[in-house]
Structure 1
Amino acid sequence: MFARKYYTDNPQQLAYISEFENTYDPSEVITWYTRNTFLYRMVNKALRTQDHLVVYAFRLFIRNLHMKLNLLQAENKSINSKLVLYRGQSLTKDDFEKLKSNIGGLLSVNTFLSTSEKKDIALLFTGGTIEDSDTEGILFEIDISTNEVSSASYANVDQFSAFQGTEREYLFSMGTVFRIKSIDKISGSAVWNIRLSLTNHTDAQLENLNLYMRQELQQCKTILSKFTNLMQQMNFPEKALHFYMKNSDIEKNPTIEDITLKYLIGDLCLHANNYEGALNCYQNVLEDMNENMQEKPMFICNLYNRIGNTYLELGNLDLAHEFHQRAFDLALSLPETNQGQIAANYIYQGDIVMEQNKMDEALIFYQKALALLIVHLPSTHSSIAHTYSRIAHVYRKQEKIEEALEMFEKSLSVLVDSSAANHPSISATHRHISTLLWILTRDEEALHHGLQALQIDANTLHLDDPQMKRRQDWVDFLRRDIHDHKCRLEENSHDWDQLSQFDM
C-alpha cells in the first residue's frame, strides 16, 4: 500500500495498514477516519498541503467519507433549529492575524473538519492558557441554522466514531465555507474565541468557472486522464506526467484516448521547455490520427496550434505561422465556429508578430482575442488573465508604463480568483507589477508586490534555486532604494538599466 513507505519504521502504523488492507469496508469509513491511525494524518495533511499523489492514492477513501457524510446529513435532520459546535486548535500568529483582518469575510476549509457539541472537550485542544510566542490558542464557535439550506456536507458521526459518546462529534466535509462573525479574547484566558457561521455562500463567478472546467474534464474518459488533465491545468506538470505514465501502454493500434495521452505528454514536454520532445510527440499524434480522429476537428485545431507554438519556441516563425494558419482555417470552416478557438489563434498570431517586434500588430491580435474571451469564457478563466498579461507586455515594450500596469493588475485580479494561491503566474505578475511601480517611482507599492512574489516563490522553489536569489536581491534593492530615495527627495525618476541585473 502507498502508506507503507511513510511508516517503514513504525510497527504500530504498519499493523493498522495491514488491518485496513484486509478488513476495510466503506460502511466503516467514519470509524477508520476517527481512529488514531495513519489515515487521519495522511488524508488531512494531503488535502491541506495539496499533495496530489497522496490524494489520488486515497481517492476512494475520501470519496467514501464524503458520500457517507452526505447520506447521514440527509437521514438525520435535526429537530432543533439552532446548533452550536466547537473546535479547539492552535494557529500560528501569522494565520491568526489573517483571520483578524478578515472579520465579516469568508473562511474556506480544504480538509475534513472535526467539531464537537462539547465546549469543554474542544478547549482541551487549544493549547492551554499559557502564552506562546509563536502560536495562539483558538476556540472556534460555529453557529448553524439547521433549517436553512446549505451547500456544506456535515453530520453527527458520534455513533460511528472511534470515540463514541465522548465528544458528540460532528464532521464537516472538504470545502466547507464559514463566515467570520467576531474574534474576542476569552476572559481570564490566553485563548481566542472565533465565532463562525455556516454559510450557503456560492460565488457565481466561481461556479461558472467550475462548470467550465468540469465540462473540459468530462472529455477525458478515464479517471487517470481526468486527474492528470486537472494536474496540468493547476500547473503541476511533474505530477501530471506521473499520472500519465500510470495509464496503459499505447498499443500499435492506438485508441482516441491513447492518442490524447500522447498529445498531453507533448504538452508536458512543451511546458518543460523540451521542444524537440514536444514536437516528436505531436508529430507522432499526426501520424497516428485515423478516421475517428478526423471526426474531432477541434482536437486537430489544438494539435496544429501546439505544433505552431513549438516551432515558435524553436525560432522557426515560418512553420509556426503555417500551422497556426492551418488551425485558424480549419476553425473557420466548421459549421459551428468555436469562438474560443478563434481567440486562441488570434493569440498565437499575436505571439508570432510580437516575436518579430511588430508591437502594433500584436496588440491588435491580442485585443481581438480578449474581446472574444470576455464574451465566451467565465470571467475568472485563466486564459483571460494571460491575455491581459500579453497586452501588458506589448505596452511595456512600447514604454507605455501606466497602460502596462493597468493590464497586469487586471491579470492579477483574475489569476487570484482562478488559480491556486502559490501559482507561478501569480508570482510572475506580482514581479512585473513591482518593476512597473518602481519605474513610476511608487517604491513602497513596488516593495509590497516584490514581497508578495518572494513569498509565493519561497513556497514553491528550493532555497538554493537561482531564481530565489534574484527575487531576494530585487526586494533588497527596493529596500535600499526606498532608503536612498528618502535621503534625496528631489529625485523623481529611476534608471531602467538597473532592472537588467534582476532578470525581471
Structure 2
Amino acid sequence: MWAQKWPKIIGVFGHITPICKDLKQIMDKRQQNMISISFLTNDHKNIMKDLNRLNASFMYNQTIKEILLSIHYEERYFNDFIAYCSRFFGNNPIEIQNLSQFEQEYHQHPPIWWYTHPGFLSSMMNQPSHMMKLNLVIRMGFFIRDLHNNIAQVHAHQQAVYKTMGSFTVYRGQDFSQAEFDELAKMKGGFLSFNNFLLTDKNQQASLNFIQDSIQTSHGVGVLFIIKVDPTTPSTPFANISDISYIKQDEILFSMNPIFRIGQIKPINNNRLWEVNLTFTSYSDSELHRLTEQIQKEAYPHLKGWDRLGMLLIKFEQFNKAQELYDILIDQAKTDSEKADVYHMLGWVKDGQGKYANALDYYQQSIEIKQNILSPIIANLASSYENAGTVHEKMSDYSTALSSHLKALKIRLKNLPSNHPDLANSYEHVGLMYGQMGNYTAALLSHEKALDIYKKIHSSNHPDLAICYNNIGLVYDQMGNYSDALSAHQKALEIYTTSLPSNHPHLATSYNNIGLVYNKTGNFSEAFAAHEKALEIRKSTLHSKHPDLAISFNNIGMLYVRKGEFYKALQFYQRALEIAQSSLPPNHHDTQLYQKNIELMKKKL
C-alpha cells in the first residue's frame, strides 16, 4: 500500500470510528509511559532508609490521594478549573472546543467517560505526579474525587459478577529507562504503586504489541506487567469500563495509586523486553499493613487537608513544591488567622531554601497578624517567634535569636502549663543561644529546666531526654569540662540505643558528639571509632547530599589533621564541601568552615 512508504502515515481510514480508536491507542501509548511508579520495600530493617529515599514518593502520592478524597468540593472548584483551562488553552481552538463541551456536558456523562475521552482532560490527568503542578492537582481535585467515586460505584455493582468468576489476570505494557528498570528489579518481593489511576487491558497480546511498538521508538526497557487480581479481597476499587468508556474497549480501570506485590521478573526474548508479575494487594496484607502503618506515623496523621501535605513536603525537603502549595493557599485564605498560618509556613519554606531574609519577612508578617488577633491563637504566636529565632541562629545573629526565643518562652510561660513540652522546647533553644554567646551558666540552667519538664512527662528512656543530655554535653564541652561532657553524651546514646532503631540518625548525632570529645582529649582511636559509626549510620539513613554527612566527613578530616595526615584530611574536607555546596546556601556557616579547612590543608601540603 502506498501509505506504507511514508513512516509518518499510520493508516488510511474511510470512517471516523477507526480513526478515533487509533488515536486513542497512540494517546494511550504516550500516557501509559508517563505514569510514574513508587516502590516500597518489604525489608523492615531498611524502612528508615527508604522513608528518606524511595518511599518519599510513595508517601507523597498516598497522602495526596487521602487529601483529595477527603475534601468537600464546592461549585467554585469546577468554575475555577474552567477559568484556568480557558487561560491555558487560549490559543488552541480544538481544546477550547473540548473545554466548552466539558463545561456544558460534564454532568451528562460519567467521569469514566470523560477520563477516556481523547481530549485535554486525559493528558492532564496522566502527567507524572512529579511533573504535575500542585495548582493543577488542587484545581482538578473535584474530578479526581468524582472519578474515584465513579469507579467505586461501578465496582460495587460488578462485585457479584467478579465473585463468581474468581481471580483473573489483566495486563499493562510500559516503557522504562534502564535506571528505572534496575530499581524495579531490585524491589522483587516488595511493593509497587502506580502514582495515578491505572488503565489495564484484558488482552495480553494487545499489551505485548503495545510495548513492543513502544520500545521501537525509544532506548528504554519494555515491561509487560502481568497482574493477578483476586476480587474477593478488599482493596483499591477497580471496574470493567467496556460499557462506560468513550471508546468501548475491554479494559479494567483501577482507582488512584493501586498497590501491587512484585513477583517473578524474567526476560521475554531479549534484555529490552521483560515480564513482571504483580499481585494486587489486599488491605489485609499483613506486611503492607505493617509498612504503611510505619509510614503513616511519619506522614503527620494528626493534620488534615493541605496542612498535612505541606508538612510532608517540608519533611522531605521538597521546598519548591511546598512553596507552590502555600502560594496557592495564601490566595485562598479567607481570614487573618488563615493568612497568619500560611505566612508562618512560607517562612519555614524559605528557611529550608536558605533564603533567610525572605523567611524572616514571612515570619514577621505572621507575627504582626497574630499580635492583632486575640486569644485563642496567642500561644501560636510563640511558634513564629521561635522559628524566626532559629533563622537568626543560622545567620549567626545569636543576640537577635536569643531575643526571639525569649519572647516565645515568655508567651508559653503565660499560656501553657508548667510541664508542657513546648515550654521545654523553648528552654532548649534559649540554652543553645546562651551557649553560643558564651554564657554557659545560663545555658546549663535552661537545658536543665527542659530536662526537668521532660522527666515529668516522659518515661526515662524517651528520646526527648536524650536531646537534653546531648545539649548539656555540648555546654560542658564548650566549658572544657570533657569528663561531664562525655558522661552526658553517653547517657544520651544509652537512651537512643534502647528507644530507637539501631540506624536512627539520632544515634549518629550522639556518636558524633562523643567523637568530638574524644578528639579534644587526645583519644584518637575512640574518636575515629565514634565518628566512623556516625558516618556509617548517616550513610545508611540519609540521602547522599544531606548536610549531616558533610559534618561527619569534616570531623573525620579533623582527626586526620591531628594525626598529621594532611592529604587524607583534605580528601574528607573536600567531600564535606561538595555535599554542603549542593545542600546549603553559599553563606552558610558550615559551607564557609569547610572552605577554610580546605585552604588550610592546601597550605600544609
TM over 0.5: yes
* Alpha-carbon displacement from aligned partner over 1:381-439 (angstroms, at most 9, x marks no partner): xxx85x567657646755545434434554565557xxxxxxxx864456566777898
Query: 1:30 aligned to 2:157?
Result: no
Matched with 1:67 is 149
Matches within 5 A, 1:118-133: 118-128=203-213
How many angstroms does 1:88 deviate by? 1.3
Q: Are the structure 2 counterparts of residues 46 and 92 from structure 1 closer, same or farther at C-alpha, using a change threshold of 3 Å?
A: closer
Residue type of the alignment partner of 1:406: K
Quote the Cα distance in structure 1 between the aligned partners of 2:278 and 2:95. 35
1: CA distance, partners of 2:310 / 2:336: 18
**Alignment CA distance shift 1:430-1:133 (3 Å):** farther
Structure with more helix by fraction: 2
Pick aligned residue for 2:247 from 140, 163, 177: 163
CA contact (8 A) 2:134 2:325 kept: no
State how far apart, in whole Å, the 2-side matches of 1:95 and 1:172 are. Answer: 22
What is the Cα deviation at residue 255 of structure 1? 3.2
Letter in 2 for 1:171: L
Secondary structure of the 1:124 match is helix
Question: Contact 1:340–1:373 at 8 Å: present in 2 too?
Answer: no
**Whole-Å Cα distance in 1 between the matches of residues 381 and 269 of structure 2?**
67
* 2:396 is the counterpart of 1:315: yes
Determine if contact 1:53/1:239 at 8 Å carries over to the other structure. no
Task: Show the counterpart of 2:293.
Answer: 207
Pair 1:130–1:73, CA change in 2 (3 A): closer
What whole-Å deviation, never above 9, does each CA across 1:350-391 have from its counterpart, x for those lacking one?
Answer: 476368698842687999999999999x989xxx85x56765
Query: What residue number does 1:486 align with?
Result: none
Separation in 2, partners of 1:403, 1:38: 58
Q: Which runs of 5+ in 1 are unaligned?
A: 417-424, 475-495
Quick one: structure 1 residues 466 and 265, their matched pair in 2 at CA, closer, same or farther if it must change by over 3 Å?
A: closer
User: Kindly tell me: are residues 367 and 93 of structure 1, through their superposed partners in 2, closer, same or farther at Cα, counting changes over 3 Å?
Assistant: same
**SS class of match (1:186):** strand
Per the alignment, in what secondary structure is the counterpart of residue 146 of structure 1?
A: coil
- CA–CA distance in 1 between the matches of 2:332 and 2:97? 35
2:212 is paired with a residue of what secondary structure? coil
Q: Distance in 2 between matches of 1:189 and 1:249?
A: 51
Match of 2:274 among 192, 209, 212: 192
On the 8 A contact 1:116/1:169 being kept in 2, the answer is yes
CA contact (8 A) 1:85 1:117 kept: yes
Deviations along 1:33-65, whole A, 9 cap, x unmatched? Answer: 122222222222142535323322322222222
- Selected match of 1:304 from 374, 382, 385: 385
CA distance in 2: counterparts of 1:408 and 1:155, whole angstroms:
49
Q: Deviations over 1:127-162 (max 9, x none)?
A: 249778832222110112222233x23222222222
Higher relative contact order (CA 8 A, sep 6+): 2
* Counterpart for residue 421 of structure 1: none
Q: Unpaired segments of 5 or more residues in structure 2?
A: 1-82, 441-470, 478-484, 520-526
* 1:182 to partner: Cα distance: 0.4
Q: How does 1:422-461 map to 2 (within 5 A)?
A: 427-428=546-547
CA distance in 2, matches of 1:56, 1:62: 10
Of residues 160, 169, 173, the one that matches 2:255 is: 173
Distance in 2 between residues matched to 1:172 and 1:372, nearest whole Å = 46
What is the Cα deviation at residue 119 of structure 1? 0.9
Structure 2 residue matching 1:126: 3-state secondary structure: helix
Change (3 A) 1:269 1:293: farther
Letter in 1 for 2:296: N
1:302 match: secondary structure: helix
**Cα separation, 2, equivalents of 1:331 and 1:231:** 28
Contact 1:69–1:173, Cα closer than 8 Å, also in 2: yes
Counterpart of 2:185 (choices 100, 103, 106) is: 100
Q: Confirm or deny: 8 A CA contact 1:205 1:379 kept in the other structure.
A: no
Per-residue deviation, 1:326: 4.8
| Alpha-carbon distance in 2 for matches of 1:173, 1:52 | 20
Q: Across the two proteins, how many residue pairs are aligned to each other?
A: 442
Does the C-alpha gap of structure 1 residues 466 and 344 become closer, same or farther in structure 2, counting only changes over 3 Å? closer
Call closer, same or farther: CA 1:429–1:99 in 2, change over 3 Å: farther
State the partner residue of 2:69: none
Residue aligning to 1:39: 121
Partner of residue 138 from structure 1, selected from 220, 223, 226: 223
Indicate the residue corresponding to 1:217 in structure 2: 303
> For residue 343 of structure 2, what is the aligned residue in structure 1?
262
8 Å CA contact 1:266, 1:277 repeated in 2 = yes
Which amino acid is 2:265 matched to? I
> Do the aligned partners of residues 226 and 366 (structure 1) sit closer, same or farther apart at CA in structure 2, a change above 3 Å counting?
farther
CA distance in 2: counterparts of 1:191 and 1:110, whole angstroms: 22
Per the TM alignment, residue 197 of structure 1 is displaced from its structure 2 partner at its CA by 0.8
Q: Which amino acid aligns with 2:533?
A: E
2:198 aligns with: 113
Q: Pairwise mapping of residues 329-368 of structure 1 onto structure 2 (< 5 A)?
A: 331=412, 334-335=416-417, 337-339=419-421, 342-343=424-425, 346=428, 349-350=431-432, 353=435, 360-361=473-474
What is the one-letter code of the residue matched to 1:186? I
Closer, same or farther: CA 346–412 of 1 in aligned 2, 3 Å: farther
User: In 2, Cα distance between the equivalents of 1:499 and 1:105?
Assistant: 48
> TM-score normalised to the size of structure 2?
0.59
RMSD over aligned CA atoms reads 4.9
AA aligned opposite 1:217: L
**Change in CA separation of 1:402 and 1:121 when aligned onto 2, cut-off 3 Å:** same
Residues 95 and 274 of structure 1: is their aligned pair in 2 closer, same or farther, counting only changes over 3 Å?
A: closer
Aligned to 1:55: 137
Q: Secondary structure at the match of 2:110?
A: helix
TM-score by length of 1: 0.69
User: 1:229 deviation in Å?
Assistant: 5.3
Considering only CA atoms, is the larger Rg found in Structure 1 or Structure 2?
Answer: 2
C-alpha change, 1:410 and 1:61, in structure 2 (3 Å) is farther
The alpha carbon displacement at 1:21 in A equals 3.2
The residue type equivalent to 1:117 in the other structure is K
Residue identity (%) = 21
1:174 to partner: Cα distance: 2.8
Call closer, same or farther: CA 1:355–1:149 in 2, change over 3 Å: farther
CA-CA distance at 1:66 after TM superposition? 2.2
After superposition, the Cα gap between the structure-2 partners of 1:426 and 1:329, relative to the gap in structure 1 and judged at 3 Å, is farther
Q: Return closer, same or farther for 1:250/1:121 CA change in 2, 3 Å cut-off.
A: closer
Contact 2:371 2:378 in 1 (8 A): no
Distance in 2 between residues matched to 1:142 and 1:173, nearest whole Å: 15
SS at match of 1:217: coil
Is the alpha carbon distance of 1:88 and 1:316 closer, same or farther for their aligned partners in structure 2, counting shifts above 3 Å?
A: closer
Following the alignment from structure 1 to structure 2, what is the Cα–Cα distance between the partners of residues 307 and 129?
52
d(CA) in 1 for partners of 2:434 and 2:166? 62
Whether the 8 Å contact between 1:267 and 1:278 is mirrored in structure 2 is yes
Deviation at 1:324, TM superposition (A): 2.6
